[in-house]
Amino acid sequence: MKTNFRAATLIDINAIFSIDTIATTERYEDITQWLEQEICYVLEANNEILAYGVLHYYFYSHAFIELLMVNKNHRRQGLGLTLINKLKMQSKTPKIFTSTNQSNTATQQLLIKAGFIPSGYIENLDDNDPELIYCYISD
């Protein structure tokens, strides 16, 4: 599938929100803020947003992929890996960090496939589900 990667705009908010599995009022506000800060990116095909990601530099001045979301109808098609690779090219720093819950084994496998390495964990963010930190270091 041929996809297009681009910076998201406020026009995309409803399409982004519709594929988000959290879909709360708070998440809608987060998405709005990410769009206003111009740190949200989308992967689209045939004028449909298939996935989105958030890339910022608030993590000790390193790039950090805060969120990666693929439309549930388009998962397991390589779109997550494509989006991560596009975000890696977008990064302004040689190190890119991200995180996922210990229970999210699918994302852990995706991150390893994308060249990320385990870099530690944080306890007590979510009850009984540590946040695993991953790092990608470009050549």
Predicted confidence (pLDDT) per residue in 10-55, tens digit? 999 999 999 988 878 899 999 999 999 999 999 999 999 999 999 9
Q: At what angle do helices 79-90 and 105-113 cross, to 10 degrees?
A: 50
* pLDDT single digits (tens) 64-94: 999 999 999 999 999 999 999 999 999 999 9
Q: What is the DSSP letter of 76?
A: T
Cα dihedral sign, 99-23-7-10: negative
- Spatial CA neighbour of 42 closest among 9, 18, 72, 20: 9
Q: What's the CATH number where 67 sits?
A: 3.40.630.30
47: its two tokens: 């004028």
Total tally of structural domains belonging to the chain: 1
State residue 135's pLDDT score.
98
pLDDT at 139: 78
110 pLDDT more than 90: yes
> How large is the average pLDDT for residues 109-127?
96
- Segments forming the whole domain that contains residue 78: 4-137
